[in-house]
Amino acid sequence: MEYRVEALAAAAGIPVDTLRFYQTRGLLPKPGHRGRLAIYDAGHLQRLRRIRSLVEQGFSLAQIGRVLEGDEEGPASEPLLAALAREGVGQRTYSRAELAAEVGIPEALIQAVEAAGLGEPLEIDGEPRFVEADLEMARAALAVLGAGFPLDVLLGLSARHASHVRDVADEAIDLFDAYIRKGAAEEEAITQAFRSLLPQITRLVALHFQRTLVNRALERLAGSEGDRKVNLERALAATRSSRLEVEWR
């Protein structure tokens, strides 16, 4: 069956603008042409329904792109997708304006964070939506800024960190896929493995970063003198007297 763009959007249950947006993001293959007319087929409709289903489950468009690339693996990939989706099901989402109001910061600041590649909102019907984790991160970032760090410097540092984190996360997903998913016989076993490992990995990464930060500070302390050395010693003593708490909800 053939579709014009308006008919395809109606069949998929989305606005035409959303369809075009998915196309610009490389999620929907280009249509064929008959003269000047763009012609879509049943494969395009199936792809749009797949995208919409993944969006409704809570996947970002970047994640959906990876899922679609791996669809040739067939049903074997579905349990891992289900495990990922269940971590985001039922979460309240926020518009950019709602997130800004909840945190108490200008909406333009959130846009700056997105432009730096640090924010990855969900795309629902072409609108960016944020989840509870984004709200918690924004509040934590606000507290860090309140300590006196310059915004431009902090954004630059965070962007470099985020780039490395994405690369490591991709490798971690590949490891899970190779050693956990393929060794689990049932979807429920994969879901439980993901749920149990995710908080442990989160804690492992946070604790490793904290330890590295403290050790690097100690190395600098060895070459410091005067008030700077005293102040740094006091700061490090405070970290040794407390324990980092990492929660995953």
- Tell me what the mean pLDDT of segment 57-72 comes to: 72
Q: Is the pLDDT of residue 98 over 60?
A: yes
For residues 128 and 109, membership in a common domain is answered with yes
What is the separation, in whole angstroms, between the first and last Cα of the chain?
A: 45
Percent above pLDDT 70 for the chain: 75
Helix 151-179 to helix 107-115 angle (10° resolution) is 60
pTM over 0.75: no
Q: Which of 56, 90, 124 is the last residue of a domain?
A: 90
Q: Are 70 and 77 in contact (CB under 8 A)?
A: yes
Show the DSSP H helices in 32-127 as ranges: 42-57, 61-69, 78-86, 96-103, 107-115
For residues 95 and 179, membership in a common domain is answered with yes
Q: Are 41 and 78 in contact (CB under 8 A)?
A: no
For residues 72 and 136, membership in a common domain is answered with no
Q: Check which CATH number belongs to the domain holding 168 and give it.
A: 1.10.1660.10
Report pLDDT for 196. 83
**Count of domains for the chain:** 3
Q: Which of 148, 165, 183 is the last residue of a domain?
A: 183
Report pLDDT for 194. 79
For residues 8 and 80, membership in a common domain is answered with yes
Q: Are 220 and 208 in contact (CB under 8 A)?
A: no
State which residues form the domain around 151.
91-183
Q: Which residues contact 172 (CB under 8 A, 6 or more apart)?
A: 201
Q: Is the pLDDT of residue 247 over 60?
A: no
Of 85-89, 110-114, 153-157, minimum mean pLDDT range? 85-89
Question: Which tens digits make up the pLDDT trace of 14-57?
Answer: 888 889 888 888 899 999 998 889 999 999 999 999 888 887 77
Of 125-134, 174-183, 204-213, 222-231, minimum mean pLDDT range? 222-231
Report pLDDT for 225. 64
Report pLDDT for 38. 92
For residues 1 and 38, membership in a common domain is answered with yes
Q: Is the pLDDT of residue 134 over 60?
A: yes
Binned at pLDDT 50, 70 and 90, residue 213 comes out as confident
Look over the chain and give the mean of its residue pLDDT values, rounded to a whole number: 79
Q: Which of 183, 212, 235 is the last residue of a domain?
A: 183
Q: Which residue has the higher pLDDT, 60 or 152?
A: 152
Q: Which residue has the higher pLDDT, 240 or 172?
A: 172
Report pLDDT for 120. 75
